[in-house]
Amino acid sequence: MSAEGGELAIRARGLTRQFGALVAVDHVDLSVPRACVYGFLGPNGSGKSTTLRMLCGLLTPTSGDVDVLGLHIPEQAEALKRRIGYMTQKFSLYEDLTVLENLQFLAAIHDLPRALAKTRVDEAIERYHFGDRRKQLAGTLSGGQKQRLSLAGSTLHQPELLLLDEPTSAVDPESRRDFWARLFELADAGTTLLVSTHYMDEAERCHRLAILQNGKLVADDTPAALCAALPGRVWRVRTALARATESVLRRHPQVLGVAQIGNDLRVLAAPTLDEASLRALLPPGSNAEIEAIAPNLEDVFVAATRGVEARAA
């Protein structure tokens, strides 16, 4: 199944969750294709975890309509549990059990027949490179190894849908790359994956991406399409007075974001701010070189979330 279309794994309309007066998720609409790596990007408190918990039936929506794998949630949440996997940011397996014992325990939790459980556990140990660590206590594994073990355990029952809540926030870059390679292997085999993250490089890997801010869905498309549709201009400003120039630009209402990279400034501006107008804003003596450059996902994120902040002001 193509990640670009076909049958949906998840359809949510008006998904909302309130905690007292706080609206954690605010009328979110989602359409997630099957066999798709679908990302949730947003800062802490944006509603990513709450959305994932509602989609897998762990949390009841305040309002909205949700269908997951053809089941209506939360009414059919119990039936859904047997068809999904859920992996949290925090290592949730037993640290005083070995790698093998943890996987055997999870196979039993999923009611896998003994022969099938042995086959699945052996396959997981090989696939996730635990052949020489079968008898190692889980608590002595590195951060990256713990996350691989969690992923192995989450997929023993071969779920149709796997939800991962910031799974790589505590691991090194090499482990993150390896972890994402495993995710794409699962997607290629037909699993639908929902992954929340606050890493831009991880968001760029996703087939499709939702950006959440203050509980609202502010963008939803492929990463390439989101960059192509960015309503603004991105400029590279090279100047020896980078700090002073950044300070000036940040105060201008048509400048949405400024990031310093060495002696260069990456400037995200409103569509109405052309090169001549931008140059007029620079401090005297900056002698700046200005060049239009292609937007990236960080620019999209800044533009989308700043738009929400502006509407709320």
Tens digit of each residue's pLDDT (9 = 90 or more) over 230-252? 988 999 999 999 999 999 999 99
How far, in Å, CA of 304 to CA of 220, rounded? 10
Asked whether the whole model's pTM tops 0.85, one would answer yes
Model confidence pLDDT, tens digit, residues 123-159: 999 999 999 999 999 999 998 899 999 999 999 999 9
231-294 to CATH, choices 3.30.70.100, 3.30.1490.20, 3.40.440.10, 3.40.50.720: 3.30.70.100
pLDDT at 173: 85
Q: Is the pLDDT of residue 3 over 70?
A: no
Q: Is the pLDDT of residue 1 over 60?
A: no
The residue whose two tokens read 């990236």 is 296
pLDDT at 286: 87
Single-letter amino acid code for the residue at 205: R
Q: Among 36-40, 64-68, 302-306, whose mean pLDDT is lowest?
A: 302-306
Where exactly are the structural domains of the chain? 231-294
Higher pLDDT, 114 or 92: 114
Model confidence pLDDT, tens digit, residues 46-99: 999 999 999 999 999 999 999 999 999 999 999 999 999 999 888 889 999 999
Higher pLDDT, 313 or 252: 252
Q: Distances from the Cα of 110 to the Cαs of 52, 81, 113, 161, 273, in angstroms?
A: 21, 10, 9, 15, 58
Q: Is the pLDDT of residue 310 over 80?
A: no
Q: Is the pLDDT of residue 285 over 90?
A: no
pLDDT at 5: 44
